[in-house]
Amino acid sequence: SMASPNLARVGLVAIGRNEGERLRRCFESLPSEVTAVVYVDSGSTDASVELARSRGYEVVALDMSRPFTAARARNAGFERLLQRWPELSYVQFVDGDCAVARGWLEFASDVLEKEPSVAAIWGRRRELHPEASVYNRVCDVEWSQEPVGDTQVFGGDVMVRTQVVRTLGGYDGRIIAGE
């Protein structure tokens, strides 16, 4: 299939800490056309930083003397993304233990391109192995309960217009999760 012309306008911010193979899977899920990628690392002791650098990604190592939140990591990544690629129209945020579904970045950027009133678009998060544990199964079931359609809220795995993130000042760093 043809890559969306909008992919050139999409940047990606991945955040993680000691994700190992999950981070490799995350990176491998990204289309090669997306080259504006920032990985924000939160004190990993594994090879996460080296993995990101080996792929040519920008790396932001968070200062761990300040309290860590996912929001803080996303904001730091977004800041670096726009320093490096100020022309980007859209940013996909993704947690390092998640993979991006094939075709998602093309689909999401096309929707934002065609629907000026839409600020952000996000899909349904699914467990890769719901059978692996009760916890995995419960998460998968809970995530599938989210209604489809217009909503006023979204989580951390989302594509947002860069102008919207800029205008709102990013994620609320005081909130630990569900920000």
- pLDDT value for 179: 59
Cβ 15 vs Cβ 73: under 8 Å: yes
Percentage of residues in the chain with pLDDT exceeding 90? Answer: 65
How much is the pTM?
A: 0.86
Please provide the average confidence, as pLDDT, over all residues in the chain.
86
Would you call 63 exposed, middle or buried from its count of C-beta atoms within 10 A (0-12, 13-18, 19+)? exposed
Cβ neighbors of 57 (< 8 A, separation 6 or more) are: 27, 37, 38, 39
Q: Can you say whether the dihedral through the CA atoms of 161, 54, 72, 133 is positive or negative?
A: positive
Cβ 110 vs Cβ 6: under 8 Å: yes
- What is the rounded CA–CA span in Å between residue 14 and residue 10? 13
Residue 127's pLDDT band (boundaries 50, 70, 90)? Answer: low
- pLDDT value for 67: 79
The pair of structure tokens assigned to 43 is 């004190």
Residue 1's pLDDT band (boundaries 50, 70, 90)? Answer: very low
pLDDT digits (tens, 9 = 90+) for 47-95: 999 999 999 999 999 988 887 888 899 999 999 999 999 999 999 999 9
Beta bridge partners of 92: 12, 159
Beta bridge partners of 95: 15
